[in-house]
A and B are shown apart, each in its own frame.
Chain A
Amino acid sequence: MVDSNLEKDVRQRTTIPASIKEEQQHRQTYKKLIVSFILMMVFTLCSFYAVLSESIPASFAAPFIVALAILQVILQLVIFMHLDDKGSGYQAIIISFGLIFALAVVACLLFLIWW
């Protein structure tokens, strides 16, 4: 009986409700996620609109949608994949190298095929 009371006590102490500061932080993170989600949605709809609209010439639409894709990917990497957390330096370096090599691979393949 005493033991079970003790256990209950320990359990209660380990699940302290979040403090006010933590609660504020949580709300801020939540807000950040929702705002970046809305931005990504807007980017997506803009690129569909740019392609489907008759009034926008293809010569403008192609680089425009690629720029929007890059912006969206940056948001995804930094906000959703938590690269803005403290101590994410190595992660950022690793993925940057991955992207640089990816660009090099695409460039080389196109050079080989079209040359």
Chain B
Amino acid sequence: MQTEVNPSKLTPGHPEKSTLEGRNKILGVWFFLGGECVLFASLMGTYLGLRGSTAGGLSPQELFGFELVLVMTIILLVSSLTSVIGVLALQRLDYAKMQLWFGITVLLGLAFLACEIYEFVEYVHLGLGYTTSAFSSAFYTMVGFHGAHVLFGVGWIAALIFRATRIGIDETNAPKFYVASLYWHFIDVVWVFIFTIVYLMGMVG
């Protein structure tokens, strides 16, 4: 029964880079994130091109309120901070704090998802279905894809936390946590563009 740090090869500093496999994993995830940039760019470009095509339905200006978006932005920004503090704890091989901060990250991610589901339900009640207009399709696809990424991230980090209760921090585990936090920060990077370009510029018109 080991729930602490596995002392085999690790020293505080950069446990995530202690093996070649770990370093390759980090590089691989950066490649993946580079690809994700293009995925979100194509969705964002489509949205920007089609946001005026409301086909008589609701327009962005009529639809978006700032309160919920501000709350969601702050939730995601704080979760980005908690996950980086989790990585700091990982680098000090502080098992308990690492689990705590990644746990908070998961909870914040769930809170974000709850807000987004509430938002979409609200919009559908207002009469903006997925097929109402080119604008609505592009909007739901863009923001929904981001939400799906959040959902995946929540599942990923939760699985890592659960797994670490059995094995603690070791040289296999450390890069996994590090890489999951990179992914989580990237989700926040995408959201920064979404709240700026979709929501705020939608309100400006």
A residues with CB within 8 A of B: 10-11, 14-15, 18, 22, 26, 29-30, 33, 37, 40-41, 44, 47-48, 51-52, 58, 61-62, 65-66, 68-69, 72-73, 76-77, 80-82, 85, 90-91, 94-95, 97-99, 101-103, 105-110, 112-114
Contact = CB atoms under 8 A, between A and B. Distances in A.
Contacts of B42: 105, 109
Interface string B27-68: 100110111111011101110111000000000000000100
Interface string B69-95: 010011001001100110110001100
Q: How large is the interface on B (under 10, 10 to 19, 20 to 34, 35 or more residues)?
A: 35 or more
The 4 A-B residue pairs with the shortest CB-CB distance in the complex, in nearest-first order: A98-B34, A109-B45, A113-B49, A102-B41
A91 to B, nearest CB: 4
Given A80-B84, A90-B27, A103 B41 contact: yes
B102 to A, nearest CB: 14
B45 A105 contact: yes
A106 B203 CA distance: 21
Given A14-B7, A51-B203, A101-B37, A110 B77 contact: no
Contact of B7 (A10, A33, A108): A10
Given A69-B196, A73-B192, A99-B37, 8 more contacts: A15-B5, A18-B12, A47-B196, A48-B200, A65-B201, A102-B40, A105-B42, A106-B45
Nearest to A100: B37
Nearest to A72: B192
A74 to B, nearest CB: 10
A39 B122 CA distance: 32
A interface SS class: helix
Contact of B192 (A29, A76, A113): A76
Given A90-B30, A109-B46, A95 B37 contact: yes
Contacts of A11: 7
Nearest to A112: B49
A6 B92 CA distance: 25
Contact of A95 (B34, B41, B80): B34
B204 A51 contact: yes
Interface string B12-24: 1010000000000
B152 interface: no
A52 B70 CA distance: 12
A102 B84 contact: no
Contact of B66 (A51, A73, A97, A105): A51
Given A48-B66, A95-B34, A33 B84 contact: yes
A20 to B, nearest CB: 13
Contacts of A81: 182, 185-186
Nearest to B5: A15
B51 to A, nearest CB: 10
Nearest to A66: B196
A86 B40 CA distance: 29
